[in-house]
Amino acid sequence: MSSSRVNLAKSLIPLKEIRLATQDFSSETRIGRGEFASVYRGQLSKRWQNQTAAFRRLYPSNFKGHDGFRNDLEMISSFNHENIIPFIGYCVEDNEMIIAFGYAINGSLQDHLQDPNKRRCLTWEQRLKICIGAAKGLEYLHSGAGESRRIIHKNIKATNILLDDNLEAKICDFGFRSRLITVHTTYVGNSFYMDPNYFEIGNLTKESDVYSFGVLLFETLSGMLANDRRSIEDRKPQTLMNLVRRHYEDGLDQIIDPFIRSQIDSRSFNTFKKIAYQCISFKSKDRPKMDTIIERIKEALDIQSQKHGAALSITIGMNRYENLERCLIPLKEVNLATGYKSQETCVGVGGSGVVYKGQLSEHWQNRTAAFKCIYPTRSRREQEFRNEVEMMSSFNHENIIPFIGYCDEGNERIIVSEYAINGSLDQHLKDPNKIRCLTWEQRLKICLGAARGLKYLHSGLGEQNKVIHRGVSSSNILLDGNLEAKFCCFVLAILVDGNQREVYEPAVGTPFYMDPIYNESGIVSTESDIYSFGVVLFEMLGGMLASDQRTIGEDEPQTLINLVRRYYHDGLENLIDPHIRDQINTHSFHAFKELAYQCISLKLRDRPTMNRIIKRIEEAQYIQNLGVPSTIATPSHQCQNLESFLIPLEEIKLATRDFSAETQIGDGGFGVVYRGQLSELWKNCVVAIKRLDLKSHQGKDEFLTELKFISSFHHDNIISFVGYCDEDNEMILVYEYASNHSLDHHLQDSKKRGRLTWSQRLKICLGVARGLNYIHSSLGEEIRVIHRDIKSGNILLDENMEAKICDFGLSKQSPRDTQGTEIYTKAAGTVFYLDPIYQESGILHKESDVYSFGVVLFEILSGMLAYHRRSFGDGNPQPLINLVRRYYNNGLEELIDPLIRDQIDSRCFHIFKELAFQCISYNFKERPTMETVIERIEDAIDVQVSHLI
């Protein structure tokens, strides 16, 4: 696999952005501290795809750390491997040196090994997979990063192996790395992982990393860190490597982590220990290569998998009930912790049992826990109890409540889990004192956490297995001390084989949250959970429980979902919790309500996946965090606001050198566009200045139309408004300057087009789709804007090739709810992009923009403009859309731009072409919404990215 160097100039992240993401480096966002740097967690803005990142901030006074920073930046920016932590960007500003990389939600391997509660959840199979991932990453460094750029890490240890949400290993921290040659260098690294040869004589080779990796393997096997001490057979406590060398030939099984001892197949253990011991050989030449290590660990995994391959049933991973004795908590311990289940310690009563709070003894780290005592009279009690214990003991995610243990003694069936100090979400929603303290931003954060937990259940348990909760409700979402959401109560959950098309189960669940399709058919699917989650989303918005009733207007009191279906298209803002009504940003509200409504769709196929839900909540969160005005102002209010945007004609003449030909950068139906730099009063902004030609067919009306709209928009993919001038018969609009000009310039210039990769083209399409979706659906309850002139000439590209829609002179405003209402207008737009239905009938729909966007998609795929002509075979030259309709079902791949043909993954191509063809359907009802368009382009990007990895 070849490595690809990142253009570091494009990876610069402003310090302001990082401060915003980390709450100005607050202690609440700090997740780690080392010798040279502190690490913070934060969410970047939409420009950076709302990514959650880890920010490694170098201590300013540490000169040794400065070298490490430069090394890290040079290396990590050029790596491209699924087991190397991904680089996002960096900042060198105001004496700050910061690297941003992917955030690993499950922390480091060391975190898991030193925390007994996390370690007990790491099965032997999971540990083997982590070892394989780390080995693959190390092999990539040693041999896969290019002949001249092979790398020795020099600091392989458990701290530098991060784990993502699927427990996939990611190597990090390249501050000590060296080129892969035999060199003599001063010893650096951690002494307990250090190759003795390197430590003694400074002779550094790739085998030094192999030695450190061998130490890591024994840590994973034993559950102890290299610097920990343990005694075996009453001997003096010793560190890990001393124990290994002392007991390897006789009694090494005694160092196996007790949490996994009953799981490990003896052949798997022997295969693993042999390769790990070869890695720590004192003779460098006897240490295996990384590809051999990978093969041997895979063998150990295959042997282990064969042992458990037949045991799917209700088991997750390998934690079968009979292997859970280590998690047994004596009834005496439970009684002592809960005061013999006294009324004072009771914190909740549910459908399956009573929950008590108590503190365990020192043997259990004095943890404060929740004790759920299952009702003795509950039918199917034994099966449900074992089901929940097996599931909870196998989960490992920050948005799933951690399992501590269980009690199965006498007639008692008790599940012990972490105590969530802030109780359940429903307690906050029904307590007026608590709910008023839940801001809209906090509610979005809770929704996002719950969504991530549900995604883990649906897809995070291996390719074959998925868990369906069947009891998603606000009472089963707990909140910890930071109001972080934690799913609980898996008594109804079932494990489903991902290969089964349909699973029939008697319908169970919580009234008012239960999917009506599942309730009627008995067919259980992940979409059933998504319906229930949609109900929770509306609970958060409305500040009322699903079972509560409320009156709107003079109507009869109704329950939550009845109110939603009654008022969704007309008056849903009346449902917003009064405590947050003044906080909520209009665009954030619309993004959120549309997502929630999709979740409760009565058509299964229309419900979004958890990936989509997470992305949409992140978008709503990002919009909310912007804190900008978000509604189109009324005319009187708007005029008042626009006065602050007036730019004197003298200022504009100075910026354009009195409209000189040298500053002219374009012309169109409106007039001429100039480039200029405004004065210090306008922050020396470089701008595009659009000057109306009084002789043009567009006039005052178009000028006022565009001014009205563009001054009200606020979106990353709409060109930013700077100001305007209406003086001495001049009508001028001033925008941000897009340094890469318009998309059509790139498509008709072969050199520029050659630099537009397929991935970049997809990114541009996604940006335009988001901008178009914004004007179609995010401008208030009653308002949508139809552009009427979408074309590649009206799509600008900034310095990051981010798409910006411009030119709203022909745009029309229409009511959002157009059912039974049609807008008749004289057809306007650009030939070859114009919707034929609109052109013929004069009836304007938002789908007319979708048609024009479909034409742009085919332009991007083909590299030819809509009005250009091309011939296939012996046929006559035809314009783009004629060619598309002629060859769509047979030979459309011939239309692909030759400059990108070798780049496109075939699956990505099919997703893209089907979407684009739907957009240009002659039946406007068959054209997708822009929301659907965004989802399909994101699908295409995901497929293309997986092809490149």
**Is 606 inside any structural domain?**
no
Query: Binding site residues, as ranges?
Result: 372, 690
Residue 402 CA to residue 399 CA, distance in Å, equals: 9
Same domain? For 689 and 772 the reply is no
Enumerate residues 6+ apart whose C-beta is below 8 A from 686. 675, 676, 677, 737
β-bridge partners, 785: 813
Residue 599 CA to residue 340 CA, distance in Å, equals: 43
- Positive or negative CA dihedral for 618, 620, 621, 622? positive
pLDDT at 460 over 60: no
Same domain? For 532 and 579 the reply is yes
Q: Binning pLDDT at 50, 70 and 90, where does residue 130 land?
A: very high
Sort strands 795-797 and 721-727 into parallel, antiparallel or unpaired. unpaired
**Is 343 inside any structural domain?**
yes
**Is 117 inside any structural domain?**
yes
Same domain? For 57 and 97 the reply is yes
**Is 619 inside any structural domain?**
no
| Predicted model pTM | 0.53
**Residue corresponding to tokens 């006294």:** 342
Other Cβ atoms less than 10 A from the Cβ of 101: the count is 25
CB-facing half-sphere around the CA of 764: CA atoms within 13 A: 30
Same domain? For 756 and 818 the reply is yes
Main-chain phi, psi angles of 664, to 5 degrees = -75, 130
Residue 264 CA to residue 124 CA, distance in Å, equals: 7
Same domain? For 163 and 280 the reply is yes
User: In this structure, what DSSP letter does residue 283 have?
Assistant: S
pLDDT at 343 over 80: yes
Closest CA relative to residue 76, chosen from 100, 41, 109: 100
Same domain? For 363 and 303 the reply is no
Which CATH number is 327's domain given? 3.30.200.20
pLDDT at 368 over 80: yes
Task: State the DSSP string of 430-443.
Answer: H-HHHHTT--HHHH
**Is 655 inside any structural domain?**
yes
Last residue of a domain, one of 260, 285, 308: 308
Residue 415 CA to residue 341 CA, distance in Å, equals: 14
Which CATH number is 241's domain given? 1.10.510.10
CB-neighbour burial class of residue 28 (10 A; exposed 0-12, middle 13-18, buried 19+):
exposed
Residue 715 CA to residue 808 CA, distance in Å, equals: 14
What whole-number percentage of the chain has pLDDT above 70? 87
Last residue of a domain, one of 308, 329, 354: 308
Residue, of 175 and 691, whose pLDDT is higher: 691
**Is 426 inside any structural domain?**
no
Other Cβ atoms less than 10 A from the Cβ of 212: the count is 26
- Assigned token pair, 928: 């997708």
pLDDT at 848 over 90: yes
Residue 272 CA to residue 839 CA, distance in Å, equals: 71
Same domain? For 231 and 142 the reply is yes
- Assigned token pair, 670: 């409106």
- Positive or negative CA dihedral for 815, 817, 821, 826? positive
Residue 711 CA to residue 708 CA, distance in Å, equals: 6
Task: State the DSSP string of 386-411.
Answer: HHHHHHHTT---TTBPPEEEEEEETT
User: In this structure, what DSSP letter does residue 142 have?
Assistant: I
Other Cβ atoms less than 10 A from the Cβ of 579: the count is 15
pLDDT averaged over every residue in the chain: 85
Three-state DSSP at 238 gives strand
Enumerate residues 6+ apart whose C-beta is below 8 A from 431. none
The pLDDT tens digits of the residues spanning 217-248 come to: 999 999 999 999 888 876 788 889 989 988 88
The pLDDT tens digits of the residues spanning 549-575 come to: 998 877 789 999 999 999 988 888 999
**Residue corresponding to tokens 């390197």:** 198
**Is 3 inside any structural domain?**
no
Other Cβ atoms less than 10 A from the Cβ of 910: the count is 14
Three-state DSSP at 145 gives coil
pLDDT value at residue 635: 36
- Assigned token pair, 425: 């979400």
Same domain? For 172 and 247 the reply is yes
Output the CA–CA distances (angstroms, integers) from residue 159 to 110, 166, 171, 193, 222, in the order listed: 5, 18, 9, 11, 16
- Assigned token pair, 638: 């708007």
Contact between residue 298 and residue 289 where contact means Cβ atoms under 8 Å apart: no
β-bridge partners, 848: none
Three-state DSSP at 20 gives helix
**Is 609 inside any structural domain?**
no
pLDDT value at residue 205: 84
pLDDT value at residue 267: 87
Query: Which of the residue ranges 140-149, 293-302, 852-861, 931-940 would you say has the lowest mean pLDDT?
Result: 140-149
The pLDDT tens digits of the residues spanning 412-450 come to: 999 999 999 999 999 999 999 899 889 999 999 999 999
User: Residue 98's domain spans which residues?
Assistant: 8-102
Same domain? For 841 and 791 the reply is yes
pLDDT at 4 over 50: no
- Positive or negative CA dihedral for 230, 231, 236, 239? negative
Same domain? For 150 and 288 the reply is yes
Same domain? For 399 and 486 the reply is no
The pLDDT tens digits of the residues spanning 95-124 come to: 888 999 899 988 999 999 998 888 888 999
Sort strands 803-805 and 783-786 into parallel, antiparallel or unpaired. unpaired
Domain count, the chain: 6
β-bridge partners, 89: 100
- Assigned token pair, 308: 């458990």
Query: Binding site residues for ATP, as ranges?
Result: 372, 690
Main-chain phi, psi angles of 151, to 5 degrees = -125, 140
Same domain? For 140 and 277 the reply is yes
pLDDT value at residue 17: 94
Last residue of a domain, one of 308, 341, 368: 308
